[in-house]
Amino acid sequence: MKTTIVTMVMTLMVMVTFAQDKNKKMTFDVNGKCAMCKARIEKAALNVKGVKYASWDIASHQLSLIMDERKTDPMKIKSAIVAVGHDTKELKATEEAYESVHPCCRYREDNTDDSGHH
Amino acid sequence: MNKYIVVWVATLLPWLAFSQEKVEGMVVDSGASNEPGLPGANVYWMDSQIGVVTDIDGKFSIPYKKEYNKLIVSYVGYESDTLTVNAPKTLRLRLKASNTLDEVVVQQQRDDIQKAYFSPQNVVTVNSAELLKAACCNLAESFETNPAIDVNLSDGLTGTKQIQMLGLTSPYLLITQENIPMVRGASQAYGLTFTPGTWIESIQITKGAGSVVNGYESISGQINTELVKPLTDNALFVNGYGNENGRYELNTHFNKKLNEKWSTGLYIHGNKRTQKEDDNGDGFLDAPLADQINVMNRWQYQDPEKGWVSFFNVRFLNDGKQVGQVDFNPGTNKFTTHAWGSEINTRRFDTSLKLGYVFPELPFQSFGFQTAYSLHKQDSYFGFRTYDINHESIYTNLLFNSIIGDTRNKFKTGLSFAYDGYDELVNTADYSREDRSVGAFMEYSYENLEKVSLTAGLRVDNHNRLGTFVTPRFHIRYTPWGQGSLRGSFGRGKRAANIFAENQQLFASSRQINILNEGGEVYGLEPEDAWNYGVSFLQGFNFLNRKGDIALDYYITDFKNQVVVDWENPQEVSFYNLDGDSKAKSFQVEVNYELLTGLDFRTAYKYYDVSTDYKSGRLQKPLQAQHRLFANLGYKTKMKENGSQWKFDYTLHSMGEKRLPNTASNPVAYQLAAYSSPYNHMNAQITKVFSNAFEVYVGAENLSNVQQDNPVLGADDPFGPNFDTTIIYAPIMGRMFYGGFRVKI
């Protein structure tokens, strides 16, 4: 009996945790430094089906997202972002993708806030 | 045959080479007894661009490459785990629950949705710094330093400035205050002078077809004024102004933040001119004796947590003007032939409520509701003519904003309702009427942050006089290369012309008023209906390391019907429906460039071809300069720490010749040339900012002292048949100096 209840509660907890949210909000770190990076990062995120809203803050490097969890997941979005050359905490861009960004966006060399210069 | 095999193998080879070796497995919760799978966990290779999320059962499959050997598994609420994996295999990964929350943070972020620099519409924003370049005095006079708008005098008596865009006068513009239609109907002639300059926070000027959200009336453009807000305006602001012709203005603002959510502001404006000025010696006042009290109270409510924003405004205005002969005394000379005079008294009450709700979890979705009521009463007489108009107006608009898919595809949709009741008495003729309209609109906008953005709007309205009609408006922007922006637009506008309110200058003349059509819905005339088409190109550049931009635009307004105002017979003014063509074409080129640090230069050339088929044939619009040149030089010294600074500003308006209405049938003494002579009009201003709290300014208008020598035709016999104050083509006032101060706390 006890086991059944525990199992039920556990199952329920998992269900609750995974009730898929149509408008899931999340933020995570993305490396970059300027307004060009911002446009590139937001565009990459929005190009992932299911991402409704993407806003990257230059100063804090935070990418705020609203996404439909039934259609996408954070890893897919991160893969799309590293594919255009921007590192995230988990996934890193290839040298090739990183080299493709505009020279002024080379955040790995000099990670200062360049928002005033563009 | 061999060939085929080679091709086949060659095609297959890359597939084989990349046929992925995989690491597969399941992420489970090690804390639970039966180790259930964890769906939604992150599984990724360290320092790679490869990551996956586990499925509903906690299973995953991730490509394997030799370069990677550290597999990281992370999941919110569990401790992350790193495993060394040197070959493709199947794994069971157990995660331990932790108490630290990682990664998912819900954050409030409200800005960044609007990216004005990608706007598909040709919008110019005039901010408060720009407005200070011409210190005096109200909305009508705020466009002197901006080439998008032309400012003319409407008549020879009141000194009222009339604005034009794309060669068309203000009735063809939609003039809104915080997106509520404001200068329309009875307030068309003087409405712009009823918004004091210090109340203005910024002005947005949209050339050509505007948005469908605020109605169907705009034809050549939209002007929106944002007023200062109680929350952000100075706690106390005092501005005093005086000029040598005896005009005095006083503006005071009091703003108070009552608590976290509520703020309120009280704004009081007064202006007065008691000094009689007749510089040109024609016996008529060059500027009216005037008296205005204008009081507004605003309430602002803001609750960012719950997403509510609201504004509530109340305003009361009392404006009196006396014009005419210098020795006219209203008490004894009204309606007599002792002296010609006129009084225009306006009282106006406005109130409006705006409610905005942004869904706290969805910053791209919002509701807006706005409603406004106004009552405008003008009692006036011009010699023996009387003109009284009461205009009661109600406007309501409900708006919903959201997205389709993602924020690159946005839409606005809503409903609007408008009521206008006019009690209008011209001498003894009663032109009272009531107008009602209800409409629905939808506007879609696409913005991919890169090459192309567009706005497509459509509204359908039902109006008791204009019928049921559709108003489409479309804007597109394309970026062909860096700092370049190519725009195109088209759209329709439709409106009922208020012929007397819009052409009030006709009363101060002996012209006979004729309305030539009958049976139409408005004064016997048909509604005005026009299409506007435009293209523009903006290019930013760097020259000698300094920034500049060049903008070119070309617009055509094509009238399907227009209420033609025909001044071509000096004894008459006639109103009739357009029979034939009426087109306003305008071309403008504008260059902005920073010449030296702090020294900005702006210049523009404008060409207008505004022609209409009158009864007497196709003619250019009268009193319109076909060629205009504009230049503005502004210099600011470097601001010191306490905010102290010098600012210098100089503006030149160079007007080409203007066609004058036909006066050939007048006696020789009252005949005018076919064209006026060109002239240059210059203004300059110096501002000394002592600190953030105090500044003074002095300036001069009409530095070159050009004056029209005969602003009042037939001034010697104002009750005779040739009296006319409507033909104004140059300034009436000569050089004039002014000064003022601003205190901000």
Our CA-based measurement puts residue A66 at a distance from the nearest CA of chain B, in whole angstroms, of 8
Cβ–Cβ contact B360 with A under 8 A: no
Q: What tokens does B431 get?
A: 């032109």
B572 and B664 in a single domain? The answer is yes
- Delimit the domains of chain A by residue range: 21-110
If you write DSSP's letter for every residue of B340-377 in order, what string do you get? Answer: -EEEEEEEEEEEEEEEEEE-TT-TT-EEEEEEEEEEEE
Q: What pLDDT band is residue B701 in, cutting at 50, 70 and 90?
A: very high
CB contact under 8 A, A66 and B42: no
Least confident piece of the model among B21-35, B267-281, B476-490, B506-520: B21-35
How would residue B112 be classed by pLDDT, with cut points 50, 70 and 90? very low
pLDDT of res. B14:
46
> B707 and B576 in one domain?
yes
Query: Under DSSP, is residue B529 helix (H, G, I), strand (E, B) or coil?
Result: strand
Q: In the structure, what pLDDT confidence band is assigned to residue A13 with cuts at 50, 70 and 90?
A: low
B182-221 confidence digits (pLDDT tens): 999 999 989 999 999 999 998 999 999 889 998 999 999 9
DSSP notation for A8-47: HHHHHHHHHHHPPPTTEEEEEEB---SHHHHHHHHHHHHT
My answer on whether B518 and B634 are in the same domain is yes
Task: For residue B294, give the nearest of B200, B219, B432, B201 by alpha carbon.
Answer: B200
Chain A CB within 8 Å of residue B103 CB: yes
On whether the CB atoms of residues B219 and B557 are closer than 8 A, the answer is: yes
Domain that holds residue B152: 116-225
- Across B587-597, average pLDDT: 93
| Chain B residue with minimum CA distance to A16 | B39
Q: What is the band of B680 on the pLDDT scale with cuts at 50, 70, 90?
A: very high
Q: Is the pLDDT of residue A117 over 70?
A: no
**B144 or B334, which is more confident:** B334
**Domain-located, residue B688:** yes
- Boundary of a domain, candidates B95, B126, B161: B95
- Please give the ipTM for the structure prediction: 0.71
Mean pLDDT throughout B124-133? 79
Can you give the length of chain B in residues?
Answer: 745
pLDDT class for B633, splitting at 50, 70, 90? very high
In terms of domains, do B548 and B406 share one? yes
Q: How far apart are CA B104 and CA B75, in angstroms?
A: 10
As a whole-number percent, the residues of chain B with pLDDT over 70 amount to 94
Span B388-411, mean pLDDT? 93
Q: Which residues of A touch B (CB under 8 A)?
A: 3, 6-7, 10-11, 14, 17-18, 23, 25-28, 39, 42-43, 46, 51-55, 57, 62, 64, 66, 73-76, 78-79, 82-83, 90-94, 97
- Based on its alpha-carbon atoms, the radius of gyration of chain A, rounded to whole angstroms, reads 18
Is residue B103 over pLDDT 50?
Answer: no
Q: Give yes or no for residue B717 having a pLDDT over 70.
A: yes
Q: Which pLDDT does position A104 carry in this prediction?
A: 82
Average pLDDT on B388-398 reads: 96
The residues pairing with B632 across neighbouring beta strands, listed in sequence order, are B602, B651
Say if residues A20 and A69 touch (Cβ distance below 8 Å).
yes
CA B173 to chain centre: 10
Q: What is residue B116's predicted lDDT score, i.e. its pLDDT?
A: 38
pLDDT at B107 over 80: no
**What is residue B621's DSSP assignment?**
P
Distance CA B25, CA B88 (A): 11
How far does B321 lie from chain A, in Å, by closest CA? 50
B48 interfaces chain A, CB cutoff of 8 Å: yes
pLDDT interval class at B545 (50, 70, 90): confident
Strands (E), B228-305: 236-243, 247-257, 262-273, 289-303
Q: Examine the pLDDT at B421 and tell me if it is beyond 80.
A: yes
Tell me how far apart the alpha carbons of residues B698 and B129 are, in angstroms, rounded to a whole number.
Answer: 16
Q: Do B109 and A76 make contact, defined as CB atoms within 8 angstroms?
A: no
Give B81's pLDDT tier (boundaries 50, 70, 90): confident
| Mean pLDDT, range B645-661, rounded to an integer | 94
What's the confidence (pLDDT) of residue B4? Answer: 64
My answer on whether B214 and B235 are in the same domain is no
Residue by residue, DSSP assigns B72-134 as: EEE-TTB--EEEE--S--EEEEEE-B-S---S-------SSS--GGG-SS-EEEEEHHHHTTS
B364-390 burial code (b ≥16 CB/10 A, e <16): bbbbbbbbbebebbbbbbbbebebebb
Q: Is residue B654 part of a domain?
A: yes
Residue among B32, B48, B408 minimizing CB distance to A10: B32
Residue in A42, A46, A79 nearest the CB of B51: A79
* Whether residue B150 sits in one domain with residue B77: no
* Domain of residue B147, CATH code: 2.170.130.10
pLDDT at B483 over 50: yes
Distance of CA B476 to the CA centre of its chain: 18
Q: Per-residue pLDDT tens for A39-48?
A: 899 999 999 9
Asked whether residue B79 falls in the same domain as residue B155, the answer is: no
Work out the pLDDT band at B434, boundaries 50, 70, 90. very high
* Chain-chain contact of B53 with A75 (C-beta, under 8 angstroms): yes
Taking alpha carbons only, the member of A98, A78, A48 closest to residue B52 is A78
Please give the residue that has the higher pLDDT: either B90 or A20: B90
| Structure-model confidence comparison of residues B696 and B111, the more confident one | B696
Instruction: Identify the CA nearest to B526 among candidates B534, B536, B535, B515.
Output: B515
Q: Tell me how far apart the alpha carbons of residues B251 and B729 are, in angstroms, rounded to a whole number.
A: 32
Residue indicated by tokens 């993602």: B406
- Please state which CATH number belongs to domain A21-110: 3.30.70.100
Whether residue B231 is found in the same domain as residue B221: no
Which of A37, A52, A96, A101 is the best mutation test for B, with the most CBs of B within 10 A? A52
Which token pair is A16?
């609750």
Contacts of B431 (CB under 8 A, 6+ apart): B422, B424, B425, B500, B523
- Contact between residue B446 and residue B411 where contact means Cβ atoms under 8 Å apart: no
* Residue B512 falls inside a structural domain: yes
Contact B177, B227 (CB under 8 A): yes
Residues B383 and B280 in one domain: yes
Q: Judge if B47 and B127 occupy the same domain.
A: no
Q: How many domains does chain B have?
A: 3
Mean pLDDT, residues B349-366? 91
Rounded to the nearest 10 degrees, what angle do helices A35-46 and A74-83 cross at?
A: 130
B449 and A82 within 8 Å at the Cβ level: the answer is: no
Query: CATH number, domain at B622?
Result: 2.40.170.20
| pLDDT at residue A93 greater than cutoff 90 | no
Q: Quick check: A19 pLDDT over 70?
A: no
CB-nearest partner of A51 from B39, B406, B450:
B406
What digits encode the pLDDT tens for the residues B324-340? 999 999 999 999 999 99
Query: Rounded mean pLDDT of chain B?
Result: 89
Q: State the pLDDT confidence band at B172, using cuts at 50, 70 and 90.
A: very high
For range B379-401, the mean pLDDT: 96
- Residues B635, B718 share a domain: yes
Three-class SS state of B66:
coil
Same domain, B239 and B219: no
The dihedral built from the CA positions of residue B204, B207, B211 and B217, taken in this order, carries a sign that is positive
In this predicted structure, what is the pLDDT of residue B391? 97
Dihedral over Cα of B515, B518, B521, B525: its sign = negative
Of all residues in chain B, the percent with pLDDT exceeding 90 is: 67
φ, ψ of residue A81 to 5 degrees: the values are -75, -40
Q: What is the pLDDT of residues B29-68, one digit of tens each?
A: 877 777 788 887 888 887 777 888 888 888 888 888 777 7
Q: How high is the pLDDT of residue A16?
A: 47
